[in-house]
Amino acid sequence: MFFKTRIKAKTDAGPHIWGRPPGLVVIIIYEAVWGFLQTLSGVLLFLSYKLISVELMEDPQDLFLNWLISHFSYRSSIKVGELFVALGVIKLALAAGLFFHAKLTRKIGIFFFIAVALFGSYHLSIKFTLFKLAVLFIDAFILYYFWQVLPRHFQDKGVT
């Protein structure tokens, strides 16, 4: 019995902001800001085609607006807008779940970021840009955080 020791899981004992570790606060803010921007972009895409059409009626010689209308249809702007709104709402829900220590946030976040990382890897393989690589790196880091680090932060609260 003298040599038996129990291995205790490490818990987070570092500094906290709003009762959360700094890394978690950064991820919450990052997801909330991008979620808000994506939702706003999606709503603006819903409205943009009609606004561009009205503006083009006022000035039919505008080269930029003519180019926009010729390259984007009403249907495609609606589809992209729906996608942006959906991604934005998911990111806002993840940020809120992380902030309030929701039980399902970790599991949903892992699946979401796996899907985002796979999609980003696919697009990176089609056309490489440094921006896509940076976004993929950030999403992979957040996936690692959700998978490995987040359980230590939630352990004290009884959330897994």
61/94 same-domain check: yes
Distance CA 131, CA 128 (A): 9
pLDDT over 90 percentage in the chain: 32
61/109 same-domain check: no
Print the domain residue range for 145.
103-151
119/144 same-domain check: yes
How would residue 154 be classed by pLDDT, with cut points 50, 70 and 90? Answer: low
pLDDT digits 0-9 by tens, 76-132? 888 888 999 999 999 999 999 888 877 788 888 899 889 989 998 998 999 999 999
Alpha carbon of 113 to those of 3, 5, 8, 43: distances in Å? Answer: 42, 37, 29, 23
Half-sphere exposure in the Cβ direction for 26 (13 Å, CA)? 8
Domain count across the chain: 2
Q: Is residue 15 one of the residues assigned to a domain?
A: no
Q: Is residue 77 one of the residues assigned to a domain?
A: yes
73/52 same-domain check: yes
User: Which pLDDT does position 159 carry in this prediction?
Assistant: 44
130/57 same-domain check: no
DSSP letters spanning 14-61: S--BTTB-HHHHHHHHHHHHHHHHHHHHHHHHHHHHHHHHHHHHH-TT
Most confident of 6-15, 30-39, 56-65: 30-39
- Tell me the pTM: 0.72
Query: By mean pLDDT, which of 27-41, 88-102, 127-141, 145-159 is the weakest?
Result: 145-159
44/97 same-domain check: yes
70/58 same-domain check: yes
Q: Is residue 111 one of the residues assigned to a domain?
A: yes
Region for 19 from its dihedrals, namely left if φ exceeds 0, alpha if ψ lies in -120 to 50, beta otherwise: left
Q: Is residue 75 one of the residues assigned to a domain?
A: yes
More confident of the two residues 95 and 58: 95
34/89 same-domain check: yes
Token pair for 5: 């020791």
Whether residue 52 has pLDDT greater than 70: yes
